[in-house]
Amino acid sequence: MIRVLHIMSTVTGGGVERTRYSLSKFLNREIFEMKIVGTHKGGLVSEWIEEQGVEIIEIGDFSGPFHWEKHKKVQKIIKDYKPHIVHGAVYEGVTMAAINGFLKKVPIIILEETSDPQNRSAKASFLLRIFSLVADKYVAIAPSVLEYLVNQVKVAPRKAICINNGIEIPRKVSNEEIERFRSKFGIIPDDIVIGAVGRFMNQHKRFSDLIEALLQVENDRIKLLMVGSGKDEDYLKSMVEELNLQKKVIFAGYHYDTAPFYKLMDIFCVPSAYEGFGLVAAEAMMHSLPVIATKVGGLKEVIVEGETGFLVSPYSPNLLALKIQYLVENPAQRRRMGEMGCLRAMENFSAERYCKDVEDLYLELLRNEGIFN
């Protein structure tokens, strides 16, 4: 049995955790077993991972790349578990995987860049370059992230590989469930619903730009459905009140199961300042929604301009408003883009495809080391 140790930061409900949940379900269990090391765990995703028989080991807050107390904990875990592969993701996970995988002589070290690191310091990028020297492969979750690794971090091209993120194919939602949510949130059949899903961290997700854009769209039937929560929720709610948009903006709260909410939407928006990949964009496409997103990170590859949606510059409420207005006025185009987006997402961004690519990488490296035939 090949043992894989994943190392990351928190194991809660973000995109990295969702991909690890997919791996816990779809990685060939006749060949692989896995454990996860994280600073903390909590929420449904961590519970679902553990229900798959994958242990999550908490080590506490990680205060920096040379927090030696935490490194010693990871080294003890490696000593006891004896992994064939250590796979680090997120800056903290990459740091712990590189340092401790090297010190404990783990046969295969894989590092994974899971963010859009446009604001990363030169010092942090330099450290990643050093860590890449001990890695067998450095995975990027989108082509733009691969460019960052090769051109800025200076990862050796032979070590860098792009494996696009993937999400699970959405569950079917019954008509009764859709109607129940429509009634709950006061959405009538004639409404045109603009949707957004994510954490309310405005410096990152820029939902304030979407609220401002709504003010510029000329249609009395428009509603904005925002699914999520976060530290800036009060700020966004106060913004809605100041702009007198209370009747048009719905704050639905946090829901891990977002499938019913996508079925209430007609247009989906991702106004982020930066994104490593943009899982919610691919998720919305799987629900046959046209997507308007900012031209940042992996979103540039997920969305095909003019075919599955539109790309606009970040921090541009006026441009968001123009594209929303166009799709509001052209329902046939909305449907066509949604259909094309669904086909693209199913083919390129499924969790099964992501897990197959990761498994193929594992097997290739194992064969190169003579560990697996």
Query: How do the pLDDT tens digits run along the chain, 373 residues long?
Result: 999 999 998 888 778 888 999 999 999 999 999 999 999 998 888 999 999 999 999 999 888 788 888 899 999 999 999 999 999 998 899 999 999 999 999 999 999 998 877 677 888 889 999 999 999 999 999 888 998 899 989 999 999 999 998 888 888 999 999 999 999 999 998 999 999 999 899 998 999 999 999 999 988 899 999 999 999 999 999 999 999 999 999 999 988 889 999 999 999 999 999 888 888 999 999 999 999 999 998 899 999 999 999 999 999 999 999 999 999 999 999 999 999 999 999 999 999 999 999 999 999 999 998 897 7
Q: Are residues 202 and 344 in the same domain?
A: yes
Q: Are residues 341 and 363 in the same domain?
A: no
Could you tell me the CA-to-CA distances from 233 to 202, 239, 262, 290, 358 in Å, in that order? 9, 10, 20, 26, 36
Q: Containing domain of residue 148, as a range?
A: 2-168+350-368
What pLDDT is stored for residue 297 in this prediction?
87
373 belongs to a structural domain: no
51 belongs to a structural domain: yes
Give the CA angle between residues 160, 166, 172 to the nearest 5°: 175
Q: Are residues 160 and 220 in the same domain?
A: no
138 belongs to a structural domain: yes
Q: Are residues 211 and 126 in the same domain?
A: no
What pLDDT is stored for residue 169 in this prediction?
86
88 belongs to a structural domain: yes
What pLDDT is stored for residue 133 in this prediction?
96
Q: Are residues 263 and 279 in the same domain?
A: yes
DSSP-derived secondary structure for 223-240: EEEEE---TTHHHHHHHH
Q: Are residues 160 and 181 in the same domain?
A: no
The answer to whether the CB of 158 falls within 8 A of the CB of 190 is no
The answer to whether the CB of 50 falls within 8 A of the CB of 25 is no
Q: Are residues 194 and 319 in the same domain?
A: yes
DSSP-derived secondary structure for 95-115: HHHHHHHHHTT-SEEEEEE-S
Q: Are residues 205 and 328 in the same domain?
A: yes
**DSSP3 helix / strand / coil % (the chain, rounded to 5):** 45, 20, 35
What pLDDT is stored for residue 118 in this prediction?
67
Q: Are residues 164 and 186 in the same domain?
A: no
> The domain spanning residue 55 has which CATH number?
3.40.50.2000
37 belongs to a structural domain: yes
Total-model pTM? 0.87
User: CA-to-CA distance for 185 and 284, rounded, in angstroms?
Assistant: 20
User: CA-to-CA distance for 73 and 79, rounded, in angstroms?
Assistant: 10
Q: Are residues 336 and 356 in the same domain?
A: no
Q: Are residues 155 and 228 in the same domain?
A: no
What pLDDT is stored for residue 156 in this prediction?
95
User: CA-to-CA distance for 134 and 136, rounded, in angstroms?
Assistant: 7
User: CA-to-CA distance for 24 and 48, rounded, in angstroms?
Assistant: 9
196 belongs to a structural domain: yes
What total of structural domains would you count in the chain?
2
Q: Are residues 259 and 162 in the same domain?
A: no
